[in-house]
Chain A
Amino acid sequence: MLELASLSRAFGGLVVINRVDFKVDAGEIVGILGPNGAGKTTLFNLIGGVLPPSSGRILFEGKDITAMRPWHRCRLGIGRTYQIPKPFTHMSVFENVLAAAMHGGNMTLTSAKAEAERVLARVGLAHRARLPAGRLGLLDMKQLELAKAVALRPRLLLLDEIAGGLTEAECDVLLGTIRELHGSGITIVWIEHVIQALRRVVTRLAVLSGGSFIAAGRPDQVLADRRVKEAYIGT
């Protein structure tokens, strides 16, 4: 579904993503682990089209999207949440999701309204629908970020540290939602620091360190890998 071919990105002399080759198949939930500064968010910025790569190619469903603008990628079916939520602060929670359904989801106003209400009920934000998004707390903000991404009706969903800062109970709710989304046919790539959350849902785990993948495979195998322990846990 998604293929990164020899993808690199440098900021000045600093190589943040270094010749990454990576494939995601339809139906997977891939978890990406990595220490701070490993290049995880940069990787998402490249896939989402916020940053152009220095070299290499990105293919989505066989189509080269390397030069495509973010909104075109979004309409092709790549949805994304941000680690630091990007709500439309002066719009209502409802309108935030409505905007996503109408643009990325390419729906008419009527069906987008229905979709926004459905998605808000699903992530448990219906009671906040009329509130300006800027007034939400952290958990609600993250749920909104997810709601917006879901309303895009993506085929591939990129989640950037969506569980960070949540309590265990909140995290369970979130995992439920993510499983449900995956069950409805969405392929997911999830960057996360919370290893326990990741290993409970992912079908495959990959570890990014120093701009390259140092391990990938079944979660238990990857976590047992010596290099992963060195890079990530620091022992």
Chain B
Amino acid sequence: MASPANLILNGGRAALVAAVVVMAATPWLFSATHVVLLTEFMSMLVLAIMWNLLAGYADIVTVGQHAYVGVGAYAFFGFAALWGVNPYLSILLAGIVAFAIAVPTMLLVFRLRTAYLAIGTWVVAELLMLAAGKLSAWGGGSGTSVPISIILYFGRARDVRLATIYWLAFGLAASAMSVTYFLLRSRIGIGLTAMRDNEEGAAAIGVNITFARILCFLGTAPFLGMAGAIITLQKLRVAPPASFSITDWTVLIIFNVVIGGIGSFEGPIIGTIVYFVLRQYLADLGAWHLIILGTVSIAVILIEKRGLWGLVRRLLGDDLIPIAHKPSAMLTKQHTG
């Protein structure tokens, strides 16, 4: 069937492959300004993929995602700047610390459901931010800069350094996407997708809801923590309100995922692209860009609950990135005759 929808889908897939190749080669192709911008894009993409997995599939609507970004930032600073650990290793360790914080948090917030859970995650994030402000070695409430020696470790020349940090962000985004892809294709992922559509129905066909939730909550934390470390490398500072920014690492991410399409693999990617495009054009408007973004996300959700991708998918009838399992061609042919 070479229907127009199929042509568009295949065109989209080809464009996607091309985009991945271009993204992998970004530092050789684009100017420093764009490399910096795309590094930020990759970090935001990781956060969006993780929030979508939690809120879109596992029904954990967290508004405390910034907690793990901040913990990752502070852990990275601690290991690399205070305790002299290898900076690359420190990024990994930031992920592990975020995971370690997620375990007790989970025990606490999993006692709550829906809106209470959302508030619970938020409270935990605020507490962690306040606690971070008490760490004098990290500059207390006003924060501190990343030592120059650590920055130079990623490359003495500016171009090299920017490229290295970009590839770190690209690598994290690529692994976040691959992990999510294989997760969603797996047995557990099929269960998660069922949970997304009907939780009680999913439990009734044997999907272990509790296990799926725990897996998502604990599995996203290291990615968020490592993203926090990479964001710190870009901002070159840790400070409680910036490292634990609810606006940047949670609210904006929610807008992006909602606009792009919650509960789909494509949604967070599309949403993050839309955000960066809008931001480029709306940058002069200052705080207005947040208002406009919020308005757009409300408008999108009113038209199609499953965002821009939900709209497009209805027309195309298939996923851009094939997550779903399909029956053999024989089954449908046999019976439609």
Contacts and interface: CB of A to CB of B under 8 A. Distances in A.
Interface string B295-336: 000000000001000000000000000001111100110111
Interface in A109-158: 109, 113, 116-117, 120-121, 126-127, 129-130, 148, 151-152
A230 B3 CA distance: 62
Summarize A's interface: helix, strand, loop or mixed. Answer: helix
Contacts of A102: 187, 190-191
Contacts of B202: 88, 99
A129 B204 CA distance: 21
Contacts of A70: 203-204
Interface in B190-218: 190-191, 193-194, 196-198, 200-210
Contact of A109 (B205, B306, B325): B325
B200 A94 contact: no
Nearest to A117: B331
A105 interface: yes
Nearest to A90: B197
Interface in B146-194: 187, 190-191, 193-194
Given A103-B191, A109-B187, A113-B327, A86 B201 contact: yes
A203 B208 CA distance: 34
A22 interface: no
Contact of B332 (A87, A130, A151): A130
B324 A91 contact: yes
Nearest to A70: B203
A228 to B, nearest CB: 30
Interface string A75-115: 10000101000111111101110111011111001000100
A129 B324 CA distance: 12
B187 A74 contact: no
B325 A95 contact: yes
Contacts of A151: 205
A71 B326 contact: no
How large, as a class, is the contact surface on chain B?
Answer: 20 to 34
B223 to A, nearest CB: 25
19 contacts: A50-B203, A69-B208, A69-B209, A74-B206, A86-B204, A94-B331, A95-B190, A99-B193, A99-B205, A102-B191, A103-B190, A104-B205, A106-B206, A121-B335, A126-B334, A127-B335, A127-B336, A129-B327, A129-B332
A71 B206 contact: yes
A88 B198 contact: yes
Contacts of B196: 88, 90
The 9 closest A-B pairs by CB, nearest first: A104-B206, A86-B201, A103-B206, A88-B197, A126-B335, A74-B206, A100-B205, A127-B335, A70-B203
Contact of A86 (B198, B210, B328): B198
Given A82-B204, A103-B194, 20 more contacts: A69-B209, A71-B206, A72-B208, A74-B205, A75-B206, A88-B196, A89-B197, A103-B206, A104-B206, A106-B206, A109-B187, A117-B328, A117-B331, A120-B327, A120-B331, A121-B335, A126-B331, A126-B332, A126-B335, A148-B205
Contacts of B306: 90
A53 interface: no
B169 to A, nearest CB: 31
